[in-house]
Amino acid sequence: MTSLQMCAFAVAISCACSTTPPEQVGRLARSVESLTTTQIPGFNHTIATTKFQIGGPAPASVVAQGMTKWVGSTGVFSVNNANGASYGVMNGVKSGGVPFAPYTGGMPAHEALVQAYFTGAGLPADQVGPLRTNVTARGSGPGDTPPVMPTTFGFSSIVTRSVNGFRVAESRAWARLDVSGAVVAESVYWPQLDASVIADASTLSNTLASPSLAAAYFASLPVSSDIASTGSVIIHHSSEFVETAFQDVACYDVWFGPPVQGEGVGWTRHFDKTGAEVRLPQELRTGHPASRP
């Protein structure tokens, strides 16, 4: 696996959530088949909108393993046929790819270019949340000397999603640019949402804004009041790795740690507007209920 492929994989899985017990599963929101006409638009990044450097001549599409792929001389652009998630990954140099120099204009400029690229391609500008950037640094020097200061930096800027002020955790669009501003790696997953999840998130937010309603809501949760009061309202949906019926839900998320700090690991627990606990589709695949009471 090339360094770009590893980066693509790392960024793609960074939004995955941990699990909560299956015996306390709440009902998730409606599936794609039952969506109404009141929907929050998504964004499907396609071969028509991408500026990823596939390499010429213009490649033909190939369908394999549930993906439609366009294979060029320098890279591959692919779209998941089940959910529309898209990926652009350059070939490794040993596989005939072309080495590239990373963008040198600095992180803020890289972020601005990535945001402009995706909104120009059709990503809804009013859904753009805070940008985050992963930075890789490189330096060189003799092996028997103290480490040198990095002299080369690469950026992978991630556009997060926010609707009506609520973060949409599993949506993201990210890209890496080279020294000329060309796209040399990218991935997008920005599905359409049912507008009812925004209404549910607003209901949760209003509940938390009222001291009396918040106290009653916290008391209904199967966690201590100290833990219950530390959460936040977040919209979740099926991750790009889930290819079954799409689900979206407004949640109150709290971090649930071990009884003794440093012993075991914590995880995020999700509760809907009624206080019922929910598990996301991607969490159902990796749950360890025996260790999570």
**Residues 87-105 pLDDT 10s:** 999 886 554 456 678 899 9
**Above 80 in pLDDT, residue 293?**
no
**Domain positions in the chain:** 3-18+42-192, 196-291
* Residue 31's pLDDT band (cuts 50, 70, 90): very low
**Residues 45-65 pLDDT 10s:** 999 999 999 988 777 899 999
Question: What average pLDDT does this structure show over 161-179?
Answer: 96
**Token code pair at residue 285:** 């695949």
**Above 80 in pLDDT, residue 129?**
yes
pTM for the structure as a whole: 0.79
- Of the given ranges (8-17, 102-111, 135-144), which has the lowest mean pLDDT? 8-17
C-alpha to C-alpha distances, 42 to 54, 77, 154, nearest whole angstrom:
24, 20, 29
Q: Which pLDDT score, from 0 to 100, does residue 285 have?
A: 54
**Above 70 in pLDDT, residue 30?**
no
